[in-house]
Each structure stands twice: as C-alpha cells, then as structure tokens.
C-alpha cells in the first residue's frame, strides 16, 4: 500500500476515494486562510463585465458580505474548475466559463472578444498571471482582496511517504520553509502550483480536484510497476 501525505485536510469523500485506490492517507495543514474586510464601494460595478474566482476561499469570504449576491447579478461569472466552480454553483452562481488555472481562464476571456473589464476576487498572495495576460490585450483588470494566506509551522510526520500532494503555490512555499523533500513523488493540483517547485520533477493532476490527484498518482504508480517488473 502506497503512503500519501496531503498538505491540507480533505473531506470524507476524498479520503474514501484515496482508500478505494489503495492509498494510506495522512493529512497536515501547511497554510491557513483568514477573511479580510473589504470595501465593495471601491469597485465600479457598472463598469465591470466579468467576475473571476480562482479559489474557493475567495468565494466563501466574498459571500460573507450580505450584499455580494446582488453585485454578481448580470455579470459573467468565471472560475477555476473543480471545487471553486462547485461552491459557486451551490451559492446560485454557476460559472459560465471555467478553466484548469488562471492561464487557461485568461485565454478564454480573451477569446470571448466581448469582455473588456474583469474583477478578480482573490487573496493577498495572488499571482500576476491573469493580470498580465488580460492587460496585454487591453482588458481592464482589477483585484479585490478578500482573504489572506498565513503559513503554518508544521513538520511532516516522522515516517516515509511515497508521494506528497500540494494544492497551491503558497502551500508549496510554506511546506518547503519547514520541511525537506526526500525521495517522495510530488503531485500538484495544477500547473500554477507545479511552477512553485521550479525545476523539480512533479506530477500534475489531470483535473483540479483531490480525487483526480489520487487517480493520477494511481496511474503513475501502476505505470512504474509495469515498467520495472
């Protein structure tokens, strides 16, 4: 049985899925998020065509404001696929455009040919991927920061793992600050997270969900067994 470490706490459904694939799963938090107060009046909502969410934390913190639903009405809702899209859908705002990551989302926005201004609901450690691509196409970009990411000084359990799962660039940064990479395979939820490792070899999930990460790892380990047996 392969031993896997997830660098965040996963829900019961994901844990069961890992077990069904033959993984022994351990979990530890390496970051925490905290909602921040924000001023919705600082945004010109009438001049905003589309609202982008690239993280489920941004969705949760934004909807803490009781006026948030009214502000989204009539806007194009865009998000990363997976958990973020699911949370938005549950809140009554299913995204009309989704992508695996900010890079893919930015290309889809550009290709619409109709979106001229975007508001990105995000955290304090947001990367410039979306901003840079959109502004290169003369699409107005603004960010509304609704949460902050805080590293957690956690040491991984004193045991050997076959693979470690990472879910965000900030999670990678925090983990590497307090832990070493040994001989584990590194599996990332998407390309943006993978880039945080620089030149290290990593495995990238087919879809941005924990379940897909486990399936990607299962296929990878099966391939290795086929190759070397």
CB 192 within 8 A of CB 171: no
> What domains can you pick out in the chain, each with its CATH number?
2-30+153-228 (3.40.50.10090), 33-149 (3.40.50.10090)
Burial class (CB in 10 A: 0-12, 13-18, 19+), 104: middle
CB 194 within 8 A of CB 202: yes
- The interaxial angle of helices 12-20 and 210-228, nearest 10 deg, is 10
Task: State pTM to two decimals.
Answer: 0.83
**Where would I find the H helices in the chain?**
12-20, 56-62, 68-72, 83-90, 102-112, 129-136, 169-178, 191-195, 210-228
Tokens of 142: 């603004």
Q: What is the pLDDT of residue 100?
A: 87
What DSSP state is assigned to residue 143?
Answer: E
- Residue ranges in the chain modelled with pLDDT below 70: 223-229
Bridge partners of 114, per DSSP, are none
Chain mean position to CA 95: 16
CB 22 within 8 A of CB 1: yes
Each as own residue / partner, the long-range contacts of residues 180-188 (CB below 8 Å, 24 or more positions apart, any chain) are 184/5, 185/217, 185/220, 187/163, 187/213, 187/216, 187/217
Bridge partners of 144, per DSSP, are 121
Q: What is the pLDDT of residue 188?
A: 96
- Tell me the backbone φ, ψ of residue 185, rounded to 5 degrees: -80, 140
Tokens of 100: 């695996």
Q: What is the pLDDT of residue 226?
A: 35
Bridge partners of 185, per DSSP, are 163
Q: Terminus-to-terminus CA distance in the chain, angstroms?
A: 17
d(CA 175, CA 62): 27
Q: What is the pLDDT of residue 208?
A: 86
pLDDT digits (tens, 9 = 90+) for 23-80: 999 999 999 999 999 998 889 999 999 999 999 999 999 999 988 888 999 999 999 9
Q: What is the pLDDT of residue 64?
A: 93
d(CA 122, CA 146): 6
d(CA 61, CA 175): 24
CB 162 within 8 A of CB 184: yes
């Amino acid at each position: 049985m392969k031993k896997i470490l997830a660098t965040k706490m996963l829900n019961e459904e994901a844990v069961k899925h890992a077990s069904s694939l033959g993984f022994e799963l351990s979990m530890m938090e390496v970051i925490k998020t905290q909602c921040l107060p924000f001023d919705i009046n600082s945004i010109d909502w009438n001049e905003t065509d589309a609202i982008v969410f690239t993280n489920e934390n941004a969705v949760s913190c934004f909807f803490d404001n009781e006026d948030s639903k009214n502000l989204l009405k009539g806007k194009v809702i865009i998000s990363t696929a997976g958990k973020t899209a699911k949370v938005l859908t549950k809140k009554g705002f299913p995204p009309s455009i989704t992508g695996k990551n900010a890079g893919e989302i930015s290309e889809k926005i550009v290709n619409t040919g109709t979106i001229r201004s975007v508001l990105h609901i995000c955290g304090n450690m947001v990367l410039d991927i979306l901003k840079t691509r959109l502004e290169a196409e003369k699409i107005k970009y603004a960010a509304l920061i609704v949460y902050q990411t805080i590293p957690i000084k956690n040491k991984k359990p004193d045991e050997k793992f076959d693979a470690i799962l990472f879910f965000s660039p900030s999670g990678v940064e925090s983990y590497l600050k307090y832990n070493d990479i040994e001989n584990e395979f590194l599996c990332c939820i998407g390309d943006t997270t993978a880039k945080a490792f620089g030149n290290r070899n990593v495995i990238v999930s087919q879809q941005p969900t924990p379940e897909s990460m486990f399936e990607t790892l299962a296929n990878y380990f099966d391939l290795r067994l086929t190759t070397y047996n």
